[in-house]
Amino acid sequence: MSTRGKDSGKDSGKTASQRLYNVGVIGKSGNGKSSFINAYLGLPHKEEYAARTGVVECTSEDHPYHLPGSDVVLWDVPGYDTQKVPYGPDYLKKINFESYDFYVHVSCTKIEETELLLHSAIAKQGKRYFYVRTKIDRDLKNQKKAHPRTFNEDNEKEAIRKKIEDCFPDVPVFLVSCREPEGHDLPTLRSLVADGANFSLESHRDIVKRRLQNTGRATRPFLEKFCVLQ
């Protein structure tokens, strides 16, 4: 059971306007949540304070990482879909799901049913999240190997992004590589997550619109009510 209460991310000396925002980094076990946090913070995997990583389930309890100079605390949350922790109501209770202010959902595969369920669970709270597709370097390498003559990195990244946005049109999507922390979308994601003001409905809507406009695609009507998938 998580030991973090709803107010544990706040400093007792801060005023209400200076509160800290708790951001849960969530996703299926093995999708690279801990590696993402290390890349985000610029920590080598062997650093004493780095999040544990590996090919098997490493995160068994949530662990906080306060972003220096910001009002945000990232929480490395145990992954789901393991023998010990299947996805479901018990998992959400175990990680104290409702106590987070915002979420970063980390995935490295095609969209699965559990991701749709997680989307709905967040939406039912009236909260929002950023969708992070990790290991993009691996995907690009595989596509380049399979189609050496026609491969175009920008086109491939756009195709991956569009597949995700078609499922979650009201969620900002970021493509990252933990091996290339200064490349792809991670620098942009850092600047957004570091400011709790970006977690509001209004800011979230503006981020989605800007990202769509930057791709050259027509801006779709933003869903004022966060989509609860049935």
pLDDT tens digits, residue range 162-176? 999 989 988 999 999
| Whether the Cβ atoms of residue 73 and residue 103 lie closer than 8 Å to each other | no
The pLDDT tens digits for 87-145 are 889 999 989 999 999 999 999 988 989 999 999 999 999 889 999 999 999 999 999 99
The pLDDT tens digits for 195-225 are 887 887 677 667 766 665 665 554 444 444 4
Please list, in sequence order, all residues whose beta carbon lies within 8 angstroms of the beta carbon of residue 135, skipping any fewer than 6 positions away: 32, 108, 177, 178
Instruction: Give the distance from CA 70 to its chain's centroid.
Output: 18
To which residue do tokens 């801006």 refer? 219
To which residue do tokens 């849960």 refer? 24
> Which amino acid, one-letter code, is at 99?
S
Minimum mean pLDDT among 12-16, 19-23, 80-84, 127-131: which range? 12-16
Q: Model-level pTM greater than 0.75? A: yes
| Whether the Cβ atoms of residue 131 and residue 164 lie closer than 8 Å to each other | yes
| Whether the Cβ atoms of residue 81 and residue 114 lie closer than 8 Å to each other | yes
